Amino acid sequence: MSGKEEWRKMADTHMMKDEEVKTKGVEASKRPPGHNPGEVLHQRRKLPYSPPTMAVAGFLIAATLGYFTLYAMKKPEATAKDVAKVATGTAEPQDTHPRKFGRLGWAKNVRK
């Protein structure tokens, strides 16, 4: 085939009537509508993972970021449990005050 006839292979025939296809001689390129008629911006028909899997992954990422944000803002004498209680609004006054640490780093007299 010469260069002039190359367009006949790739002719977009899904909008043509049968008579037009025959008169232009592009029967070889005829394909049913919907079979890659003109992929726009590399869009996919199918997602790489199922929506529930992506939702769980998104929740885990958000929870991890939240945990590290709280952990970075905590004071040295507070535990992660204390920070979580304060963040959720369930903390009591004894959870928010610094504790006295012993020789090994353990808290003495945690609850009176």
| 76-111 pLDDT tens trace | 777 777 777 888 888 887 777 766 665 555 555 555
What letter does residue 98 receive in the DSSP assignment? P
State the maximum Cα–Cα separation within the chain, in Å, rounded to a whole number.
96
Task: Specify the higher pLDDT residue, 8 or 89.
Answer: 89
Phi first, then psi, for residue 60 (nearest 5°) are -65, -40
Mean pLDDT of 62-76: 83
- Residue 101 three-state SS: strand
Least confident of 25-34, 59-68, 79-88: 25-34
